[in-house]
C-alpha cells in the first residue's frame, strides 16, 4: 500500500479533513504539533490531541526518531551551504520564522522518508529544496485533491 502524509499548510488550507476515512494516510507528529500550537480554541486542540493518540495507537503516526533529527539537521546544513554558494560566499538572513519553518519541514520530510510516505504539500518550494538532499516523494496538493 502507498502511504502519504499532509504538510501542515495543506490541512489548514483545505479545512476539515476526515482523517479516519482517508486510506493510506499517516499523520506526522510534527504537523500535529504545529496544528495544536496554533489551534484557535481548546476544543480544536483537544481534537488534534485525540488524533495524535488514535493514530499513535494504530501505528499511523510518523514520529521523528533520533536518526530523523540528525538527518534533518544535515539537510538544514546543506541548504545553508547551498544558499551561501549562490550568494557569493555570504549567507543572507532569512525572513523571520523561515528557519523554524524549514527545520520543521526538514523533520517532516526525513521522518516521512523513513516511513516511505509521500508528502502532500502546498509548500512546494520548501520541500523541493529539501528533496534535493532527501529522497522523498512529493505530491502537489493541487494535483492530489483534483
Give the contacts of 143 (CB within 8 A, at least 6 positions apart): none
Q: How far apart are CA 5 and CA 117, in angstroms?
A: 6
**What are the strands, taking DSSP E only, across the chain?**
3-6, 27-28, 61-62, 117-121, 138-140
Q: How far apart are CA 116 and CA 46, in angstroms?
A: 28
The pTM (predicted TM-score) of the whole model is 0.90
pLDDT in the model for residue 2: 93
Provide the grid cell at 72.
534533518
First to last CA, the chain: 21
pLDDT in the model for residue 127: 96
* Range of the structural domain that residue 70 is part of: 3-144
Q: How far apart are CA 90 and CA 8, in angstroms?
A: 31
The CATH number given to whatever domain includes residue 11 is 3.40.50.1010
Provide the grid cell at 97.
520564522
Phi, psi of 118 (to 5 degrees): -75, 155
pLDDT in the model for residue 107: 97
Mean pLDDT by 10 residues, the chain (146 residues): 93 87 96 96 96 97 98 94 74 68 96 98 94 96 93
Cα of 138 vs its chain's centroid, Å: 11
Number of domains within the chain: 1
Check if the beta carbon of residue 138 is closer than 8 Å to that of residue 121: yes
Amino acid at each position: 500500500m502507498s502511504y502519504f502524509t499532509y504538510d501542515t499548510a495543506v490541512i489548514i488550507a483545505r479545512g476539515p479533513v476526515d482523517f479516519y476515512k482517508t486510506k493510506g494516510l499517516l499523520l506526522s507528529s510534527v504537523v500535529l504539533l504545529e496544528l495544536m500550537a496554533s489551534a484557535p480554541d481548546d476544543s480544536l486542540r483537544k481534537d488534534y490531541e485525540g488524533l495524535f493518540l488514535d493514530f499513535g495507537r494504530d501505528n499511523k503516526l510518523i514520529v521523528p526518531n533520533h536518526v530523523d533529527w540528525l538527518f534533518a539537521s544535515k539537510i538544514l546544513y546543506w541548504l545553508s551551504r547551498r544558499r551561501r554558494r549562490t550568494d557569493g560566499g555570504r549567507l543572507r538572513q532569512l525572513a523571520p520564522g523561515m528557519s523554524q519553518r524549514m527545520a520543521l519541514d526538514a523533520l517532516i520530510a526525513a521522518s516521512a522518508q523513513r516511513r516511505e510516505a509521500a508528502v502532500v504539500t502546498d509548500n512546494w518550494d520548501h520541500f523541493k529544496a529539501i528533496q534535493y538532499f532527501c529522497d522523498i516523494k512529493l505530491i502537489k496538493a493541487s494535483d492530489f485533491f483534483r
